[in-house]
Chain A
């Protein structure tokens, strides 16, 4: 199965987002894939505010079933989010649960004027009423597989399919 080129989707998203940038725009990427994508978009768009990075581990809705299994990264939002138009960036949109957790965490930092969701790929399968305002591509993913963004040593981004981790 042929997956879209991540680098091309990035360029396409930059074109789309340019028109949206205003004085209050700021960007936040979700670890890990979303952070890579956000680093790229943030640099290409030359946003004046530094990039925010979030790990939603403390807001996940499956903690009681799965516990804190990985080592969470530290969320760093180096600007005041009150009144901002936030671009929330993730690599792949699937159930919508990560985005729900991210929005809960964001509101513990303040009250943004708006939040728009930017994703490289939407694989469908939503379990919550969440949609992306900016989406690079829709991608069909076979069941039992997981769509992931990868970054190589030369910072090149690619989309890849891999088997879902056993729960």
Chain B
């Protein structure tokens, strides 16, 4: 049997590539460690010395502001040195291969590579080719996975709902293009959430999505009924070729989260969104800014979760 490429011989997390296949204990360790880091981020001195002398390379082959920034803040709060590479503007355009880029950075004494790439599997390729002391953290690869976003979603849900074993969670919108949805579904099922629903038009649901252990709804009103957690996804215009949806207005009418639709969920339901939000497309402003929304706390928790991931992998 092939070993999980994310774990070392002792079963410890060496790279974070995907939530899929990670044992429950590892997920819980990350969430518990993140909780301690939330304490650090609330202090006046928001830094600990764990990664002093280590170098974190942010390799973003695809544009990102929030994820790159929160990784940078997280690494700096661990006292690491952070180097941001905007690859779209650099060597790759001159024809250098992915592994050559990584080998060059490795020669500059890298310790952690944070990788975002538009090709699914690129972080796996890098992880297979790095030295034993180097670690890879997937910051989003193609449509495949975005594990730190999934983890910060799990952290947020645990923060507000305490445990997973009684929750009904609905993930709404463009599941087809969403690596966030995939990572979150794997995490929720591993941590024992009894009901995960995906809600969206047929054209935006991957075929065979039921195999992930979710219930599929095309009618948002039916799907939101009695939910504890609602995760709205961004309509990914840049990944669409124009044939999947009639219009953004039409989408909002059926799958946009409004106050009226939110009232079908439990009265204490929380509303999450990985950002960036398209107000008036997948979510109404009154909901996005309303009392159920925990969208900005998600961003804050994201820093602590990324601190936890980097400090765990770099120590293993």
Seen from chain A, the residues whose Cβ lies within 8 Å of a Cβ on chain B are 55, 57-59, 63-64, 66-69, 71-76, 104-105, 108-110
CB atoms of A72 and B48 under 8 A apart: no
The one of B39, B47, B311 that contacts A68, using a Cβ cutoff of 8 Å = B311
Question: What's the minimum C-beta distance from B170 to chain A, rounded to whole angstroms?
Answer: 30
Is B44's CB under 8 angstroms from A109's CB?
yes
Q: Determine if B49 and A59 form an interchain contact, defined as CB atoms under 8 angstroms apart.
A: yes
* B contact residues, total (Cβ < 8 Å): 23
Nearest chain B CB to A97 CB, angstrom units: 14
**Bound CA–CA A55/B36 (angstroms):** 9
Q: Would you call A68 and B315 a contact (CB within 8 A)? A: yes
> What CA separation (Å) do A131 and B180 show in the bound complex?
51
Residue of B with least CB distance to A62: B315
Do A108 and B47 have beta carbons less than 8 Å apart? yes
Taking the nearest CB of chain B, how far is it from the CB of A58, in angstroms? 4
Could you write out 14 A-B pairs with CB less than 8 Å apart? A59-B48, A59-B49, A63-B50, A63-B315, A67-B314, A67-B315, A68-B50, A71-B28, A71-B29, A72-B32, A74-B35, A74-B39, A105-B48, A108-B45
> B33 an interface residue at 8 Å Cβ cutoff?
yes
Q: Which of the listed residues B43, B314, B315 has the most CB atoms from chain A within 10 Å of its own CB?
A: B315
Which residue of A63, A67, A69, A76 is within 8 Å of B39 (Cβ)? A76
> Are B316 and A67 touching (Cβ within 8 A)?
yes
User: Does chain A have a CB within 8 A of B12?
Assistant: yes
Chain A contacts for B29, CB-based, 8 A: 71
Kindly list 5 other residue pairs between chains A and B, CB separation below 8 angstroms, not including A67-B316, A108-B45.
Answer: A58-B40, A67-B12, A68-B315, A75-B39, A104-B49
Contact yes or no, B312 A68, CB < 8 A: yes
Q: Within the assembled complex, what's the spacing in Å between the Cα atoms of A87 and B45?
A: 22
B214 at the interface (CB under 8 A from A): no
User: How close is B305's CB to chain A, nearest CB, in angstroms?
Assistant: 14
Most buried by A among B33, B312, B316: B33
Contacts of A55 in B (CB 8 A): 36
Q: Pick the most buried of B40, B49, B311, B316: most chain A CB atoms within 10 A of its CB.
A: B49
Contact indicator A74/B315 (Cβ below 8 Å): no
Cβ of B263 to closest chain A Cβ, rounded Å:
35
Say what secondary structure dominates the interface of chain A. loop
> Using a CB-CB cutoff of 8 Å, which residues 32-66 of chain B contact chain A?
32-33, 35-40, 43-45, 47-50
Known: A108-B43, A108-B47. A67 touches B38 (CB 8 A): no
Contacts of B33 in A (CB 8 A): 68, 71-72
Contacts of A75 in B (CB 8 A): 36, 39-40
**Which chain B residue shows the least CB distance to A70?**
B29
Specify which chain A residues have a CB less than 8 angstroms from the CB of B38 in the assembled complex. 74
B26 to chain A, nearest CB (A): 11
| From B36, B44, B311, B312, contact of A74 by CB (8 A) | B36
Q: Are A67 and B45 in contact (CB under 8 A)?
A: no
Most buried by B among A58, A59, A66, A104: A58
Kindly report which residue of chain B lies nearest to residue A58, judged by CB atoms.
Answer: B48
Let me know if A58 and B312 touch, CB within 8 A. no
B73 to chain A, nearest CB (A): 16
- Which A residues lie within 8 Å of B12 (CB)? 67
Residues of A within 8 A of B39 (CB): 74-76
Q: A97 to B92: give the CA distance in the assembly, Å.
A: 47
Complex formed: what's the CA distance from A69 to B10 in Å? Answer: 12
Map CB proximity to A onto B285-316 as digits: 1 under 8 Å, 0 otherwise: 00000000000000000000000000110111
Within the assembled complex, what's the spacing in Å between the Cα atoms of A101 and B197? Answer: 46
Across the interface, do B36 and A57 meet the contact criterion of CB distance under 8 Å? yes
CA distance A58 to B45 in the complex (A): 13
| Complex Cα spacing A67 to B11, Å | 13
